[in-house]
Structure 1
Amino acid sequence: MAVPKRKVSKARRDKRRSQVWKLSAPAFSRCPQCGELKLPHRVCGNCGYYKGKEVIASKEA
Structure 2
Amino acid sequence: MAVPKRKVSKARRDKRRSNVWKLDVPAFSKCPQCGELKAPHKVCTNCGYYKGVQVLKKEA
TM-score normalised according to structure 2 size: 0.80
Aligned length: 60
The CA deviation string for residues 15-42 of structure 1, in whole angstroms up to 9 with x for no partner, is: 2111223212211111011000111111
Over the matched positions of the two proteins, sequence identity in percent amounts to: 77
The runs of at least 4 aligned residues of structure 1 exceeding 2 Å deviation read 1-4, 19-22
Any unmatched runs of 5+ in structure 2? none
Q: Which runs of 5+ in 1 are unaligned?
A: none
Q: Report the Cα offset of residue 2 of structure 1.
A: 5.3
Q: Quick one: distance in 2 between partners of 1:3 and 1:52? A: 58
Q: TM-score, normalised by structure 1?
A: 0.79
